[in-house]
Amino acid sequence: MADDYDEAGGMEEDIGMGEEAGYDDAAAEAQEGEENIELLDHADGQAGQGGGPRQRITTRYMTKYEKARVLGTRALQISMNAPVMVELSGETDPLEIAMKELREKKVPFTIRRYLPDGSYEDWAISELVVPD
C-alpha cells in the first residue's frame, strides 16, 4: 500500500501492456489472409505455368481480400501513369479506372495462392469470378 504513492504524494497509475498486446493480435489476424496470396504481372504468371492445364484445389471465386489487393495495387499503378487497359469515358479517379478494368477482366495480374503444403496455384484474373 505504501508503495502505491509516488514521490509527490499522489497515487501511481498502473499502466498495463494487456491492451496493446490485444491490438497486435488483431493486426496479426487481419494480415493473416494477405500472406497467402501474391500478385504477379501477367507475364510472370504465364512463365511459371508449364504444360497443359493442371488440376486446381482452390475455388475459382476471387475473395474480398484478393479483390481489395488487386484494386489497390492497380489503382496505385494507374496513379503513377501506368498504361490503362480499358477505354476511358471521362474517369479520372485511379480507383474507378481499376474497378472498370476488373469488371472487364482486363487487369494484367496473376494471383498466386499459396497452399499449406508450400505449393501454389496461379490464377489469371480472367479465370476468376469477381464478387460485386
Say if 83 falls within a structural domain: yes
Give the per-residue pLDDT at 3. Answer: 56
Model confidence, pTM: 0.63
Say if 52 falls within a structural domain: yes
Say if 7 falls within a structural domain: no
Per the structure, the complete domain to which residue 103 belongs is given by 37-132
pLDDT in tens, 8-36: 555 444 444 444 444 344 444 444 555 67
Say if 27 falls within a structural domain: no
Say if 101 falls within a structural domain: yes
pLDDT in tens, 34-69: 567 788 776 555 444 444 567 899 999 999 999 999
Say if 94 falls within a structural domain: yes
Query: Nearest Cα to 111, choosing from 19, 32, 49, 31?
Result: 49
Say if 11 falls within a structural domain: no
Query: Nearest Cα to 129, choosing from 50, 37, 63?
Result: 63
Q: What is the CATH number of the domain that holds 103?
A: 3.90.940.10
Cα dist from 116 to 28, 45, 98, whole Å: 18, 20, 30
